[in-house]
Amino acid sequence: MFHRESGYYKTSYASDSALYPLPVAKWAVAGFAVLFFVVAPLLVSSYYLTILNLVGIAVVGALGLNILVGLTGQISIGHAAFMSVGAYTAANLATRFDLPFWITLPSGGLMAAAIGIVVGFPSVRIKGLYLAISTLAAQFIIDWFIVHTPAISGGFQASIQVPRPSIFGVVLDTQRELYLFILVTVVIAIVVALNIARSRVGRAFIAIRDQDIAAEILGINVRRYKLMAFAISSFYAGVAGVLYTYYSGVANNEFFPLVVSIDYLAMVIIGGMGSVLGAIFGATFVTLLPITIDLIMSSLGPYLIADAGSLSGIKSHMRLILFGGLIMFFLVVEPEGLNRLWLNIRSYFRVWPFSY
């Protein structure tokens, strides 16, 4: 994507709003497609594909939250609860009615979207901290409700074994096969997020974020669009929850605690609010960070700290400290997140080798 604009002039309004305004970008996208669809599944080891799967699931969840928080300027500390809704919806449909993934996946999203609209209702009247707290409450209420309703959670330990998805009779039971399944979903999620952002609906979201009074005066139904943002965000979360369920083979509420909601907020903030690319960066970064810390501490740690117990304690604290620090850094110093760093690098190369 280190492309240059010189010598290429936009000749129509349509090309101005095209997803890839420059022809070079098309090649870059094609390159990434080959890399992720062909090279990775052939060459990457199963362990790293597992990690890529986790990244993919996080990307879907973060894209959704970014639409709510980054584009529309609302807040939710209950994102993980919607993943849980998606997970249990899919698990019940798959186990009780033997339904295939192409029904469970959107159903999980739709159920989460429906509940997201309910949870979003306070946003019509309240903002900021109060909205944050009401979504936080939703996180706990939804979690509690699922766990205490055996009809949903399957009773014992709120855990439901889910059969792996299958396509044309092929069961996707290895991480390698699941990888392609998740990847396709991620690509669709990205394209849809980009389309929303550049269309009438996305513009309305941004208008509400920037100036809700002006948005209203231009005929934007602010209440409806806020609820729509909650619905889309929750739909993405629900889909991410379904993916996680297929990935792990179990639906379990313990996968979706409050900390996960905060992780997703961190992804959106660290990645760069309101940008699709930022959400992808943020999701990748936040997913890989603990794994990297783990790797480093496991290989170096024993030389530094003898006691295995305190080592694992330090490991988990390290993650929290780094997270807290990074969120503060990006909120205060670089609100546009990793995406801004990327843009800076790109604009540097755009004029390279001239320094101005």
Question: Taking the complex as a whole, how short is the minimal distance between the CB of residue 306 and other proteins, in angstroms?
Answer: 53
298 in contact with other proteins (CB under 8 A): no
Q: Which residues in the 207-226 window bind other proteins by CB under 8 A?
A: 207, 210-211, 213-222
Judged by beta carbon, residue 227 or residue 326, the one nearer other proteins is: 227
Question: Taking the complex as a whole, how short is the minimal distance between the CB of residue 210 and other proteins, in angstroms?
Answer: 4
Q: What angle separates helix 308-332 from helix 276-304, to the nearest 10 degrees?
A: 150
Three-state SS letters, 121-142: HHHHCCCHHHHHHHHHHHHHHH
Within a 10 A sphere around the Cβ of 260, how many other Cβ atoms? 18
Question: Taking the complex as a whole, how short is the minimal distance between the CB of residue 16 and other proteins, in angstroms?
Answer: 8
Per-position x/- string for 161-200, each x denoting binding to other proteins as judged by CB under 8 A, each - no binding: -------------------------------x--xx-xxx
Judged by beta carbon, residue 17 or residue 298, the one nearer other proteins is: 17
Judged by beta carbon, residue 223 or residue 315, the one nearer other proteins is: 223
Judged by beta carbon, residue 16 or residue 98, the one nearer other proteins is: 16
Which of the 8 DSSP states describes residue 262?
H
Q: What are the C-alpha distances in Å from 294 to residues 46, 259, 287, 307, 315? A: 18, 18, 12, 16, 7
CA 319 to chain centre: 19
Question: Taking the complex as a whole, how short is the minimal distance between the CB of residue 191 and other proteins, in angstroms?
Answer: 9
Least Cα distance to 78 among 36, 26, 52, 116 occurs for 116
Question: Taking the complex as a whole, how short is the minimal distance between the CB of residue 261 and other proteins, in angstroms?
Answer: 24
Q: 166 phi and psi, to 5 degrees?
A: -135, 150
Q: Which of 204, 239, 242, 243 binds other proteins (CB under 8 A)?
A: 204
Report the sign of the C-alpha dihedral through residues 96, 105, 229, 279, in that order.
positive
Question: Taking the complex as a whole, how short is the minimal distance between the CB of residue 137 and other proteins, in angstroms?
Answer: 27
Cis omega (within 30 of 0) on the bond before 290?
no
Q: Quote the CA–CA distance of 202 and 282 in Å, as a whole number.
A: 20
Least Cα distance to 135 among 154, 121, 148 occurs for 121
Q: Which residues in the 61-80 window bind other proteins by CB under 8 A?
A: none
Judged by beta carbon, residue 206 or residue 311, the one nearer other proteins is: 206
201 in contact with other proteins (CB under 8 A): yes
Q: Quote the CA–CA distance of 37 and 193 in Å, as a whole number.
A: 20
Question: Taking the complex as a whole, how short is the minimal distance between the CB of residue 9 and other proteins, in angstroms?
Answer: 14
Judged by beta carbon, residue 195 or residue 310, the one nearer other proteins is: 195
259 in contact with other proteins (CB under 8 A): no
Judged by beta carbon, residue 22 or residue 192, the one nearer other proteins is: 192
Query: Residues touching other proteins: how many (CB under 8 A)?
Result: 31
Per-position x/- string for 7-36, each x denoting binding to other proteins as judged by CB under 8 A, each - no binding: -----xxx-xx-------------------
Alpha helices (H) in the chain, listed in sequence order: 13-16, 23-34, 40-43, 46-65, 79-96, 101-120, 128-147, 150-153, 175-198, 200-210, 212-217, 222-248, 258-271, 276-304, 308-332, 337-351
- Based on C-alpha coordinates, what's the Rg of the chain? 21
Q: Which residues of the shown chain bind other proteins in the complex (CB under 8 A)?
A: 12-14, 16-17, 192, 195-196, 198-204, 206-207, 210-211, 213-222, 228, 232
